[in-house]
Structure 1
Amino acid sequence: MEGRALGPRLIVGAVLAAFAGVYVLAAPARTAGAGRVSAAVALVAVVLGVQIVRVVSRDGRWRWAIPAQAAAAYAGVLAFGTSLATLGFVVGSLLLAGVWPVAVVVVGSAAVLGDADGTISCLLLGLVVYGLVRLADRADDTAAARLPLTMAAVARERLRIAAELNRGLGEGLRAISDGSRRALGRPEAIGDVLEVARSSLNEARAAAADFRSMSLAPEASAARALLESADIEAAVRTGHSEPLGPAGALLAMALREAVTDVVRVGTARHCVIETSERDGFVRLRVVNDGVRTAELGEDGLESAARRVRAAGGSFSTGLGEDGRFAVEAAVRAGERPVSLPDRTAYRLSMGLLAAVLAGLSAKGLLVIPWGPKWALAAVLLAVIGALQMLWTARGRPRAWVALLAVLAVVPVPVVGKMWLGVAGFLVGTLLVGVRRGVAVPLTGVTMAGVGAAAWALGLGPAAVTNWVVSTLVTGLLVYGLVRLARLVRDLRAAGEELARAATVQERLRAARDLHDLLGHSLAAILLKCELARRLADVDPARARAELEEVVAMAERAGRDLEAATGGDAGLSLDGEARSARSVLTAAGVEVEMDLAHGEVEDGTSAVLGTVLREAVTNVLRHSAATRCVIMTAQEDGVVRLVVENDGLDPAAPRTAPGSGIGNLTTRMASAGGTLSARADGKGGFRVEAVVG
């Protein structure tokens, strides 16, 4: 039981104890004398005790107690008049042990020793015992499978990512390395290396974008940031499930275009981004209050519209009745294969519930004379059973409790005492479908009502007590079956959602690594190759040195590729600082470096090295910097990295943020650090990372 959820087993234990309690309470009416009553109670306790051992333990040792359980059950039935239904515990144990032929023999013996009612009760209890315990086992198995499922989903995703990247980028990096070595003696071959490096860089960026497209979350976060930076209040409401795959890429593009147009026009004050999923389609809706038809046509969205429609989706723009401009896109959702391996538990629970409802109904109909009364009872029981199954499978309609209350009370004067048992279904529904503070008092009221009705029908004290207790037992049985059925269903859904989320996170991690690690390496290789080509005629020695560094960079990029597929990046702050000086100097940027961080833990060094890489990549790609300052410091265990450059154009138009800063913010947060990136308004840009 260590590490195993107790909830399902407590439910099973309570239901089985309630059944045993009925037979204990009936003992004084079935045998005479205090000694015989005590013996009958003790035998029932033995029968229940063996069953409880099986409830709390799944090892095979409990099977050796089945003969003792059978002996106690048969002794109670034959010597003390205990109900034949106690043999149902033995039937359940035999079914759980896998010896169903012997279980059939026990049910047959019940038919020989008693009547149809007793035989049905024995079989019904056996199925209840078997089903409830197996459901508890399934609930534990489903809960325990969530972590292995998640790990397996991540492992599958890593294999898929590795296959995708190694097939293209891996071959490209090998070609760069081999070509650079050949170009050491043949400068004219540098052009071929340049072409491969440029192609590999484009492929890395495309792969990173594709991995991010598994989820709309990064694009939605970027859209919110862009809107808020333009002083537009943004609201994001998510109603779809991840991952999305190709649908995510199309909707991300539509979202990016829609939000860019909202910011470009510049008259909006509010913008709402909504997603939903229905009928196999994922829908995106972007609504703002500042765009008018006269100000915005569909030019900025035509490309997105064509691609969405070409994929079989729909795309529309226009003013709504409220005067707000809306962009709407819908794309068919892709398949989501992640699922828990065992799909039988929920079917088992529903099948068991149907069997119990049928068995209880059959027991009641056995005591009603054939005729119109019997037909009425049969129809009403069928209606109750159908509603109970629908309610369990699809939810809790509010009218169901009131309807069941009417069906439990109104037919009593017509059908007679047999109908008092229907109140047990009402109790089960109350316990499952109503909050506990209300359900418990209502259960007490229902039981009291059953007792009053039984007394009004002229039944004696023992029969009144039996009906009242049976109402509670039936209610607990229905509660246990429905609660366990929903528990298994919810655990399955939670496990699948966890695996899907892990798959998305693994794709996003790969996208970050491609962008932060491999993208930087390939950009630096491209820069070095360009420099080597320019120097080939004027300074062959310097060109050769640059090509030798390209070879080393290609080898490091190979390690970056391994990191992107789940390996270890092996980054260090000192190594990235040396690389940054070399790459920036090659690009004609004056570098001022002040490194005072001293000894730093490997994890901190790696994450700050990644920040430095991204910052330097942005200097090269997004600015016209002539000077870059890189500083580090450490005080009281807090390590600080600052990268400043003077290449930002203050008059440049606002554009959608890239994924680099968002990636780094995520990395820093996971390392317990913070990141800030901002312009100073005078042409400078500062990135500051703090870990401690």
Structure 2
Amino acid sequence: MSSQHPHAGPAIGPRLARLIVVVVLAAFAGVYVLAAPFRTGGVPRVAGVVAVTVLLYASLLIWVLPRAARFRGVPLVAAQSILACADVLGFGTSVGVLAFAAAPLLLASYTLPAIAVLAGGVVVAVLRFPDAAAAADAAITPVLGTLVVYGLVRLADRVADLAAARPALTMAAVARERLRIATELNTGIGRGLDAITAGSRRALGDPAEIGDVLRVARRSLADTRAAAAGFRAMSLAPEATAARALLSAAGIEAEVRTGHDEPLGSAGALLATVLREAVTEVVRQGTATRCVIETSQQDGTVRLRVSNDGAPTAARGEEGLAAAAGRVEAAGGTLTMGLDADGRFTVEAAIAATPRPVTVPDPTAYALSVTLLAVVVAGFCVKGLLHVPWGATLPAAVAGMALLAVLQLRWTAEAPPRRPYALLAAQTLLSFVPVLWFGTAWLGTAGFLAGTFLVALPIRLGVPLVAAAMAATGAMAAALSQGPARIVNYTVSVLVTGLVVYALVRLARLVRDLRAAGAELARAATVQERLRAARDLHDLLGHSLAAMLLKCELARRLAAADPDRARAELTEVVAMAERAQVDLRAASGAGEPEMSLEIEAESARSVLTAAGVETRVDLGHGPLPGPSATVLSTVLREAVTNILRHSAARHCAIVTTSEAGAVTLTVDNDGLDPRARRTPPGAGIGNLTTRLAAVGGTLTARADGDGGFRVQARLRADADAPAEP
């Protein structure tokens, strides 16, 4: 089954990231506001602390919100440094508030001033606390705060950068794929067209050269068809579309359930063969009323399952499926056939997927975010261990803190824990039970647990559990005879630490998911580009080469009996080869095909007449814009190619009409044998249906029951060109 990611869209991802940062910074500021009454005496001084802290918080938002970017610069960081120092030195606020000055300095790339601010915090901490552990704890606080603020803002920026880079990433993938396609096509088919052009010109003077031109034309046509099939093989989608169309035409209800990732590479070609043969067999048997086609992917293996409710026969699966089974098994896969539990006949194939890799920029973004979280968690652990007395209990405290850190980081892994509730239970016990031995030194660990609740559980469960963790921490602090200020500090710190942990983990996941979404977009664009190239090869170049081959055959037969006519045919071959070069550039993405319906109709008349098909052309449409003419010309090419390859037609009519702002192209021929068995539709009809659907048009292709076959395309006269992937 395809992996599911919570793909944050181009706008949602950055907005969510900034909202998380805004909330966490507000919680940070709230700690100092709530502590003001306990650290500062008198209403005016408390009001001063609150005002300065709110100003610092508001100024930090300038680094978070893109619309406020114009206010960033030296005046802002200078004002923030002055405000933070005034808060610490003038009102006695905790040195942790210096993080609100040091982080902006780092964001503005003023590293030395940031270090100076943090060094000043160390000096103040040492002067305030004679106890070494308390002084170290106070000195670490602004460093951790700086890392948190700086890291959150940078991660929010990284999320925005990744979201903005996704269109460019997609177009870069398309450009790389076009370059690969152009290299593949120009190496083989391009040289073949050059050889056809040169050989045809030589044959104008020496008819003996026609044989060489024929050999090159046959080889180029085979190469073109093989390349088109190879490009289509990257995706099962076209084959599934063709299968649905074939089943529907046979009156069989068809359902397609897709659960695999594209592209499939060589595995797609094998599974497409299995699907084609299985569906052909269903139609041939003629007893089914419903057929279900399913694909899934898991652990690097892609599975195809085709089941139907028709009555099984002994001959079922012994034709094309036997050969397909051999190819699948040779590639290391499996193919089974038989009745399932509910009596449905099922064909199931499994093979290792071989996706085409897609390069995604900035592969270290997720690792950097996890590293930042690890550093912050380690810092909080060190702060707690500073208050554990040296002695026999210290190693146990270190081991417990290390285990807590490992459990915390487990929630940032690519895959979620297998037993999340057992992990939560273990972390809960480690957060509260050791308080019995380590006292207040362990109370801060409940903040990790709060972060885990927010990360691992739905909001409706996480928020009440965070509140419970805060209440339990406050109760334990009171039981340990802490004063009101310390109880409030421990309780609020659980929430703040939890929000920090949640923010770092959530932003790391946003980075990861945006990268995954960008890679999927690039893969999808790559598949679409290969399918576009396959359509152009089949619809444009395939027709041209088939027509050239026919013209060369005719010229060889006429060389002795009618040299002038033979030279005329060869002259047309040269012109066709030059047009085919243009088609090749369009197929490889180096140019856009631009075709004239009138010229294409005359070319069709010439080719069909040369093949002995009496052709009538009646063009009743008015002027057409380029996209409409190109699409209808492509339909005409495919219809003529099918007449030449698959029918014994003696008469053909090419008619266009225009009414009510729509143009209709109809191609009728009388070469269909009504007794012939049904065969799967080729790529052409599916390609043309896709092309017309892209411009709001429709295509029908059906037999009339009396030996005739009609292809009809209808679209608006002013249809726009299909959009780029």
TM-score by length of 1: 0.92
Give the SS at the match of 1:241.
Answer: coil
- Matching of residues 544-559 of structure 1 within 5 Å: 544-559=567-582
Query: What secondary structure does 1:634 align onto?
Result: strand
Match of 1:349 in 2: 369
SS in 2 for 1:497: helix
Note the 1:199-210 alignment, pairs <5 A.
199-210=219-230
2:588 to 561, 565, 568: 565
In the alignment, residue 392 of structure 1 is paired with which amino acid? T
Partners of 1:307 and 1:291 lie apart in 2 by 27
Cα deviation, residue 437, structure 1: 4.7
What is the alpha-carbon distance in structure 2 between the residues aligned to residue 288 and residue 654 of structure 1?
Answer: 18
- Residue identity in the other structure for 1:83: S
8 Å contact from structure 2 (residues 21, 156) kept in 1: yes
Which residue type is aligned with residue 655 of structure 1? T
* 2:96 aligns with one of 85, 88, 92: 85
Amino acid aligned to 1:127: L
Q: Hey, what does 2:625 align to over in structure 1?
A: 601
Query: In the alignment, what sits opposite 2:32?
Result: 23
Deviation at 1:59, TM superposition (A): 7.5
Say which of 313, 331, 334 aligns to 1:315: 334
Alignment-derived partner of residue 613 in structure 2: 589
**1:664 partnered with 2:688:** yes
The answer as to whether partners of 1:194 and 1:530 remain within 8 angstroms in 2 is yes
> Deviation string for 1:39-90 (max 9, x for gaps)?
3333333433442222225689435432332232222222221111112233
| 1:506 is aligned to 2:506 | no
Q: Counterpart of 2:644 in structure 1: which amino acid? A: L
Write the mapping of 1:376-391 to structure 2, written as runs, cut at 5 A.
Answer: 378-391=398-411
Question: 1:411-435, CA deviations, whole angstroms, 9 ceiling, x for partnerless residues?
Answer: 5566545555444334333433444
Residue of structure 2 aligned with 1:359, choices 369, 379, 382: 379
SS in 2 for 1:689: strand
SS at 2:62 equivalent: helix
Q: 1:642 to 1:495 in 2, by over 3 A?
A: same
Name 2:129's counterpart in structure 1. none
Distance 1:598 1:271 in 2: 44
Shift of 1:658: 0.4
Question: Is the counterpart of residue 76 in structure 1 residue 87 in structure 2?
Answer: yes
Q: Which amino acid is the alignment partner of residue 616 of structure 1?
A: V
Given that 1:514 and 1:564 are in contact with CA atoms closer than 8 Å, whether structure 2 keeps it comes out as yes
| Of 532, 542, 545, the match for 1:522 | 545
Q: Which residue of 2 aligns with 1:34?
A: 43
Asked whether the 8 Å contact 1:180–1:193 carries over to 2, the reply is: yes
Q: In the alignment, is the contact (CA less than 8 A) between 1:455 and 1:464 conserved in 2?
A: yes
CA distance in 1, matches of 2:308, 2:73: 66
Contact in 2 for aligned 1:177/1:550 (Cα 8 Å): yes
Matches within 5 A, 1:254-333: 254-288=274-308, 290=310, 294-296=314-316, 298=318, 300-311=320-331, 313-319=332-338, 322=341, 326-333=346-353
Unaligned runs of 5+ in 2: 1-9, 126-134, 717-725
- TM-aligned CA deviation for residue 318 of structure 1: 4.2
1:643-685 Cα deviation digits (max 9, x unpaired):
2222222221111110111111111111121112122222222
Letter of the 1:490 counterpart: D
Instruction: Name the amino acid aligned to 2:365.
Output: A
CA deviation map 1:166-195 (0-9, x unaligned)? 111111112222222222232332222222
Amino-acid identity (%)? 61
Q: Distance in 1 between matches of 2:141 and 2:294?
A: 54
1:54 aligns with 2:75: no
Which residue, 228, 243, 246 being the options, matches 1:226? 246
Gap regions ≥5 residues in structure 1: none
The one-letter code of the counterpart of 1:483 is R
Q: Deviations over 1:440-480 (max 9, x none)?
A: 45545554555555556555544443333323222221221
Q: RMSD in angstroms over aligned alpha carbons?
A: 2.9
Equivalent of residue 535 in structure 1, options 540, 547, 558: 558
Greater shift after overlay, 660-669 or 347-356?
347-356
Asked if the contact 2:431–2:446 (Cα under 8 Å) also holds between the matched residues in 1, the reply is yes
CA distance in 1, matches of 2:345, 2:430: 52
Show the 5 A alignment for 1:605-624: 605-624=629-648
The answer to whether the Cα contact below 8 Å between 1:47 and 1:70 also exists between their aligned partners in 2 is no
Match of 1:488 among 505, 511, 515: 511
Alpha-carbon deviation of 1:595?
1.5
Deviations 1:88-140 (A, max 9, x none): 23332333334445444443333332111112211111111121111111111
Aligned partner letter, 2:334: F
Counterparts of 2:397 and 2:616 in 1: how far apart (Å)? 92
Give TM-score, length-normalised by structure 2. 0.88
Q: Which amino acid aligns with 1:603?
A: P
CA contact (8 A) 1:424 1:475 kept: yes
- Alpha-carbon separation, structure 1, partners of 2:99 and 2:438: 28
Superposition pairs for residues 426-437 of structure 1, below 5 Å?
426-437=449-460
Aligned residues of 1:50 and 1:62 also touching (Cα < 8 A): no
State how far apart, in whole Å, the 2-side matches of 1:263 and 1:636 are.
Answer: 38
CA shift at 1:282, angstroms? Answer: 3.5
What is the 5 A alignment of 1:104-123?
104-114=115-125, 115-123=135-143
1:628 Cα offset (Å): 1.7
Confirm or deny: 8 A CA contact 1:262 1:291 kept in the other structure: no
Shift of 1:258: 3.3
Equivalent residues in 2 for 1:122-141, closer than 5 Å = 122-141=142-161
Q: Distance in 2 between matches of 1:104 and 1:292?
A: 80
SS in 1 for 2:623: coil
**Is the deviation greater in 158-167 or in 582-591?**
582-591
Structure 1 residues 414 and 325, CA gap change in structure 2 (3 angstroms): farther
More off after superposition, 593-602 vs 553-562? 593-602
Q: Distance in 2 between matches of 1:296 and 1:371?
A: 80
CA contact (8 A) 2:77 2:101 kept: yes
**Of 473-482 and 270-279, the range deviating more from structure 2:** 270-279
Once residues 340 and 631 of structure 2 are traced to their aligned partners in structure 1, the CA distance between those partners, rounded to angstroms, is: 50
Q: CA deviation at 1:277?
A: 3.5
Question: What is the total number of aligned residue pairs between the two structures?
Answer: 690
| Cα-to-partner distance string for 1:260-284 (whole Å, 9 max, x where unaligned) | 3344344555544443444444343
Displacement of 1:499 after TM fit?
0.5
What secondary structure does 2:264 align onto? coil
CA distance in 1 between counterparts of 2:316 and 2:626 reads: 52
Q: What secondary structure is seen at the aligned counterpart in 2 of 1:644?
A: strand
Specify the code of the residue in structure 2 equivalent to 1:432: V
CA distance in 1, matches of 2:112, 2:449: 36
Quick check: 654-663 or 182-191, which moved more?
A: 182-191
User: Is 2:15 the partner of 1:6?
Assistant: yes
1:157 aligns with 2:177: yes
After superposition, the C-alpha distances for 1:574-601 in whole angstroms (9 at most, x for unaligned) are 2212212222222222222222211122
- Deviation larger for 556-565 or 409-418: 409-418
Match of 1:683 in 2: 707
Matched, 1:644 2:668: yes
Contact 1:529/1:546, CA 8 A, preserved across alignment: yes
Find the residue that maps to 2:73 and give its secondary structure. helix
For the 8 Å contact 1:275–1:285, the answer to whether it is kept is: yes
- Report the CA distance shift for 1:384/1:679 in structure 2 as closer, same or farther (over 3 A): farther
Match 2:256 to one of 215, 236, 249: 236
Q: Distance in 2 between matches of 1:345 and 1:229?
A: 51
Moved more, 389-398 or 609-618: 389-398
Q: Which residue identity is paired with 2:200?
A: S
Q: Which moved more, 1:595-604 or 1:240-249?
A: 240-249
Query: How far is the alpha carbon of 1:219 from its aligned partner?
Result: 1.7
